[in-house]
Amino acid sequence: MSQSIVVSATHLQTLDLAVAHTVLSQVDWHQTDLKLRFEIDYPRDANDPRELSEVPEVRLWFLRLDSHYPWLPLFLEVESGDLGRYAAMLVPHQFSPLDGIRYNPEALEIFVMGKVFTIAQWLKDKQIDGIEKLKLMVRTLGYELDNSLFELLS
């Protein structure tokens, strides 16, 4: 099941998370096929070369969202690139027209490990069987972690 969170320029400029709260309050986190995505409506000048993750208002909104829902990346669509774009909102990176997003390696490692610890605990607290999904999230971001780490956390 796929759900979209539609974020307008007004939400971004006022750091208003109401649209996310509304969608996320109605989600059954135990659904194994749950996939979330963001539709960001932020008008930019046609000559503006920046990616959305390079726009301060957009990044700040996502930083605030992440502080409220630190486990959210687990449910983002991987195939559409939503997980990668979400990470780009929070992790220093450079954008290359040829290579796409190139994250700062150390910052990405800290981000991934922080998410592993946070999400594993959230899954445990909510009694949700999601460790395999967490492993997929980690692999999608370019990391392969030993299963013993996940066993240690459960």
- Model confidence pLDDT, tens digit, residues 44-102: 999 998 889 999 999 999 999 999 999 999 999 988 899 999 999 999 998 887 888 89
Give the pLDDT score at 10: 97
Range of the domain at 96: 2-153
40 pLDDT more than 90:
yes
The helix or strand, by DSSP H or E, that contains position 7, with its residue range, turns out to be: strand 2-8
Indicate the number of domains in the chain. 1
Q: Could you tell me the pTM of the whole model? A: 0.92
Give the pLDDT score at 49: 87
Percentage of residues in the chain having pLDDT higher than 70: 100
**Phi, psi angles (nearest 5°) of residue 134:** -65, -40
Query: For residue 42, what are the CA distances in angstroms to 53, 58, 70?
Result: 11, 8, 23
* Chain mean pLDDT for the chain: 93
